[in-house]
Structure 1
Amino acid sequence: MQQDESTAEHIVVVGAGPAGLAVSLGLHRKGVGSVVLESSPALRASGYAITTWRNAFRALDALGVGDKIRKLHLHIQGLRVFSSSTGEITHELDFTSQENGGPHETCRVRRDLLLRAMEEELPPGTIRYSSKIVSIQEDVGSAAKLLHLADGSVLRAKVLIGCDGVNSVVARWLGLAKPSYSGRLATRGLARYHPDSGHDFAPRFLQFIGQGFRFGFVPCDETDVYWFYTWCPSQNDGEGVDQSATKMKQHVLSKLRSSKVPAEAVEVVERSDMSDASAAPLRFRSPLSLLFADISKGNVCVAGDALHPMTPDLGQGGCSELEDGVVLARCLGEAVLRESEADTETERIEAALRKYAGMRRWRSVSLVGTAYAAGFVQQSDNAVVSFLREKVLAGVLARSLLKMADYDCGTL
């Protein structure tokens, strides 16, 4: 491929999710431009809502959009964990208490509002929609990468940042291990209550654990309540549960009604429109593989789910994406802006990406590993594990949420 057959771009970010937009916005705040390639025709709001813990708000504040998000969502005051078998409270955590290191700033943020808040701060034209990468090629004679898009066009990137999710093309090019299936499925929904009456739920995160599933819900604002349900599939689930939204809803309601989940919690699922809901396999990248993986190679790196896909048991997936964005923008922005006679821009960029990889490697390993372990304990049907979970481990797991959220990615 000849250079004149491609369009040259300096920094190309693949994927307009939380990680990709955080990287691009962080670079913009530092005065460095970028192009974001998004395969869909518009911002994708799938996933409904993202838990934003203290670490996420620190990242959002660094990006200059923290207050935008705060104004749109309820602030969660605590966590209450119930046994699905007995209906009894196994642990309660007050996010406002100083005894727990509080107050802990926590919201359940609608994904579409989060992405829109960041998009609005970017220069027009930064995001190029309907731009799907199909392959990556070395540009002979330079360090640039040739990005072949589905429409036949080619972009020449001096820096390539993959924020393209669990099925990342960029991660595959780097040689990262394929994400593993956790053996669990998840479905999610959003219950909308009438604006005039709203819902009666306190700003508290409620979870029901045991009997082979994990169910939880939390209000986003006065009218929207986000919920999730994760489980280990079996032959008793019924045919087509993981492919039909109607059967999926019936399956969730059947499980909840046969347990000690209260009627008002069941109603959250009943009033949800699940026309676009489906069962998604929960996947993660092995923590062991991340210890030795090439997070960056030359002028290419990955961030977000392209780097550290994890199960949702800590609620840190979206938070860690925002962390990645701030750290990467800081490292890369400084390298691009710093003039030096000792090394070239290419050398500075490659060193910056290595620095970013070094800073995010152990954080990624600890988050993925802890999330997987928490999910195993929370959904296990083993009698011993169930006993320990309700008597001891529920508190340990709850405190691990706060421990992982007490992290500061720094400023730009």
Structure 2
Amino acid sequence: MEAAEDVVIVGAGLAGLAAALGLHRKGVSSLVLESSPSLRASGFAFTTWKNAFRALDALGVGDKIRRQHLQAQTLRVMVSSTGEIAQEVDLTQQGKRGPNEIRCVRRDLLLQALEEELPRGTIRYSSRIVSIEEDGGVKVLQLADSSVIRAKVLVGCDGINSVVAKWLGLATPSYSGRSAARGFAHYPDGHGFEPKFLQFIGDGFRSGMLPCNENEIYWFFTWTPSENDKGVDESAAKMKQFVLSKLRGSKVPAEALAVIDRSEMSDVLAAPLRFRSPLSLATASIARGNVCVAGDALHPMTPDLGQGGCSALEDGVVLARCLGDALLLPAAKGKDEERVEAALREYAWIRRWRSVELVATAYAVGFIQQSDSAVVSFLRDRFLSGVLARRLLKMADYDCGTLAN
């Protein structure tokens, strides 16, 4: 079976659904191919900063997500080895572009909110691409079920192992040398925690927790695995006990340990942290002809800024604006392909340096916050904690624009 589509988006994650919804708002239809049989919500939740809510507002779903999640009021950074408060920041203070805003958003609720705004049939599930070929200006997509789709525009939002990024020749993401565990704790009768973003830094790890709503708390733990840590990621139970053992050896408050201990096995996962080198991104083919990438397919990064999901939403809005404007112009003989290529070049120009800055900053922040080096720890705990906290706010004080400008 063979079909033809104007715009094909690979991956129904944050970037893919944001791009599809942005195009829909512009009056442009698209087909989203998702390899899994349903929406995936890996990672449970993610820190959603002001820049992401600007993107969600542009897509028309910002207020819906706000109603479902608590707004964090304070960021408290604590030194793991001593229990001292290294920095406390008001998360509602004014930035250059208005008041800050941060919420811990459940990934499944956000994906559902985006999906619900799309026309029925936009997402085609259980559709995995196995190859990409060219036929003139058209990209011929061979799917695992033997069907074929001919796409005039191809957008890769298919994650860190992106088939589209590989086709474009982007460098394979590098292992950062660190791993992360994530979990979710449920409190049916309410958890009673204040809306604070708690971070515990140093002592060889970085950890934190943040309420999503009155009944759920998201937590994370990043560390540098050693030979002694082999096998801890074999099961959720082993990973949970590993995290607890690390934190119990520090000055992390007992209430934070209780949150992790409460997490069910199905709500704990771990994975190595990978990123695409900022140097390679500076010259990479983010877009070529009628093909481009967005989200983790473009800029996989370590989670130390909490900007992976946020920047994916930015990508979706910028891509929809650039591409939508080009596709909405009246058809002109021999000009349509040129307009699409120009639109994707504009998108790549806008997103390239933003991506480079985010990936590089996230890596540096993670290294400093997690380090157990005596020198780095002294500088961090005495002087750099405030700088790093302000850097988080600065990276979030960004405006991707609307779908109209």
Q: Is the shorter-chain TM-score for this pair beyond 0.5, marking a shared fold?
A: yes
What amino acid maps onto 1:105 in structure 2?
A: E
Asked if 1:148 is matched to 2:142, the reply is: yes
Q: 1:124-152 CA distances to partner (integer Å, 9 max, x unpaired)?
A: 0100000011111112xx20111111111
Residues 100 and 78 of structure 1: CA distance in aligned 2, closer, same or farther (over 3 Å): farther
Q: Which residue of 1 aligns with 2:215?
A: 223
- 1:21 counterpart residue number: 17
| CA 71–350 in structure 1, closer or farther in 2 if over 3 Å, else same | same
CA contact (8 A) 2:184 2:268 kept: no
Gaps of 5+ in 1: none
Change (3 A) 1:122 1:30: same
Aligned to 1:405: 396
- Mapped to 1, the partners of 2:143 and 2:153 lie a distance apart of 16
**Which residue of the partner structure matches residue 356 of structure 1?**
347
Compute the displacement of 1:353 (Å). Answer: 0.4
Paired AA for residue 381 in structure 1: D
Distance 1:243 1:100, change over 3 A: farther
| TM-aligned CA deviation for residue 235 of structure 1 | 1.9
Code of the residue aligned with 1:82 in structure 2: it is M
Partner of 2:197: 205
How far apart are the structure 1 equivalents of 2:345 and 2:320?
Answer: 13
Which is further off, 157-166 or 144-153?
A: 144-153
Contact 2:95 2:397 in 1 (8 A): no
Q: Mark the CA change 1:261 to 1:159 in structure 2 (over 3 Å): closer, same or farther.
A: same
TM-fit CA distance, 1:287: 0.3
Report the CA distance between 1:6 and its aligned residue. 2.1
Q: Which amino acid letter does the alignment assign opposite residue 205 of structure 1?
A: F
Residue 269 of structure 2: SS of its match in structure 1? coil
Judged with a 3 Å threshold, the aligned counterparts in structure 2 of structure 1 residues 343 and 406 are, in CA distance, closer, same or farther, namely: farther
Equivalent residues in 2 for 1:11-410, closer than 5 Å: 11-98=7-94, 103-139=99-135, 142-194=136-188, 196=189, 198-237=190-229, 239-275=230-266, 277-339=268-330, 341=332, 344-410=335-401
Distance 1:229 1:29 in 2: 38
Cα deviation 1:315-349 (Å, max 9, x = unaligned): 00011000000000000000000126485111100
CA contact (8 A) 1:187 1:228 kept: yes
Q: Using the alignment, how far apart are the partners of 2:97 and 2:381 within structure 1?
A: 23
Paired-residue identity, %:
72
Gaps of 5+ in 2: none
**Is the contact made by 2:94 and 2:100 (CA closer than 8 Å) also made in structure 1?**
no
Aligned pair count reads 403
- Distance (Å, rounded) in 2 between the aligned partners of 1:135 and 1:276: 34
3-state secondary structure, aligned to 1:330: helix
Contact 1:95–1:102 (CA under 8 A) maintained in structure 2: no
Other structure's SS at 1:278 match: strand
Superposed CA deviations along residues 359-411 of structure 1, whole A, max 9, x for unmatched, are 10000000000000001101111100000010111111100000000000000
Query: After superposition, what is the alpha-carbon deviation per residue over 1:6-45, rounded to whole angstroms, capped at 9, x for unaligned?
Result: 2111100000000000000000000000000000000001
Instruction: Confirm or deny that 1:8 pairs with 2:4.
Output: yes
Q: Which amino acid aligns with 2:388?
A: L
Give the TM-score normalised by structure 1: 0.96
In the alignment, is the contact (CA less than 8 A) between 1:253 and 1:266 conserved in 2?
yes
Q: State the Cα distance separating 1:98 from its structure 2 match.
A: 3.8
C-alpha distance in structure 2 between counterparts of 1:12 and 1:40, whole Å: 16
Backbone CA RMSD of aligned residues: 1.3
- 2:385 and 2:107 mapped to 1: Cα distance? 28
Distance in structure 2 (CA, Å) of the matches to 1:205 and 1:44? 25
Secondary structure of 2:117's aligned partner:
coil
Partner Cα distance (1:132, 1:99) in 2: 42
- Between the aligned partners of 1:85 and 1:101, the Cα distance in structure 2 is 36
Closer, same or farther: CA 411–100 of 1 in aligned 2, 3 Å: closer
Q: Please, what TM-score do these two structures have when normalized by structure 2?
A: 0.97
Quick one: which amino acid aligns to residue 274 of structure 1? M
In the TM superposition, residue 212 of structure 1 has moved relative to its aligned partner by: 0.6
